[in-house]
Copies of this chain bind each other. A is one copy, B any other.
Amino acid sequence: MGSLRDRARRPRRPGGPGRRGEPGTRARILDAAEELFARDGYEATPTAEIARLADVPKGLVFHYFPRKIDVLVALVDERTLVEESPEGESVPGDAAGALSRLARRLPIRASPAMRRILFREADTHGSVRARLGHLNGEIIRRARFALELALPGARGGAARLEVAAVTFAAVLLHQENLCQLTGHHIDPDAVAELIVHALA
């Protein structure tokens, strides 16, 4: 671990992004927090550890984020962008393909680490929960839209179509979340095909 005080401070390149007001300092703190929260969880990550990994003094973390929770909130606010349905992305007539594409690219712009954080801290912190709920809603909306477009007169009507959309969203989120823990894997394409069969 090294004795105290001999932490080799990464030399800041003068004139580069390593000087005062360095635009990357705050980002480095968030980078570190993202990595650590994802690996160890929010509660189990000391702010001092964040500072160490970000290579900034302990106090600076609190300069940017007055309380520890603010780091988490900033992370969720700034690094998980739930993409609002950009319509017209689906091609009429190919429901299974549209669902597959949705599975392959969830409407969330976030690193794998941020996704872990989103799922893990959801039930302890309101703002994280809200973001996750938003994501879930967006996935459902897109799945529903894809199915409506491809299967206009699906048997069972709107109700069954809604169930199909919700089911697909559940599978996708379950895969992102618990499958990584339980070791079970799901092939979203197969699920997409199954669902389309049910509606066709």
Residues of A whose CB lies within 8 Å of any CB of B are 1, 3-4, 26, 41, 43-44, 63-66, 70, 74, 116, 119-120, 122-124, 129, 132-133, 136-137, 140, 156, 159-160, 163-164, 166-167, 169-171, 173-175, 177-184, 186-187, 190-191, 193-195, 197-198
Q: Is the CB of A164 within 8 A of B194?
A: yes
Q: Is the CB of B194 within 8 A of A167?
A: yes
Q: How far is the CA of A63 from the CA of B58 in the complex (A)?
A: 13
Q: Is the CB of A3 within 8 A of B65?
A: yes
Given the interface pairs A164-B194, A190-B160, the reply to whether A178 lies near B136 with Cβ below 8 Å is: yes
- Looking at chain A's contact residues, the main secondary structure is helix
Report chain B residues within 8 Å CB of A140. Answer: 184
Q: Is the CB of B132 within 8 A of A181?
A: yes
Q: Is the CB of B183 within 8 A of A133?
A: yes
Given the interface pairs A41-B43, A160-B194, A198-B198, the reply to whether A171 lies near B167 with Cβ below 8 Å is: yes
Please tell me which one of the listed residues B133, B175, B197 contacts residue A184 in the complex, with CB atoms under 8 A apart.
B133
Q: How far is the CA of A195 from the CA of B163 in the complex (A)?
A: 10
Q: How far is the CA of A66 from the CA of B173 in the complex (A)?
A: 37
Q: Is the CB of B64 within 8 A of A3?
A: yes
Please indicate which of the listed interface residues A44, A64, A156, A181 has the most CB atoms of chain B within 10 Å of its own CB: A181
Please tell me which one of the listed residues B41, B177, B186, B194 contacts residue A195 in the complex, with CB atoms under 8 A apart.
B194
Please indicate which of the listed interface residues A26, A119, A182 has the most CB atoms of chain B within 10 Å of its own CB: A182
Report chain B residues within 8 Å CB of A136. Answer: 178, 182, 184
Which residue of chain B is the closest to A182 with respect to CB atoms?
Answer: B133
Other CB < 8 Å A-B pairs besides A122-B178, A195-B198, 12 of them? A116-B123, A129-B182, A132-B181, A133-B182, A140-B184, A160-B194, A164-B194, A166-B191, A167-B167, A170-B186, A173-B174, A177-B177
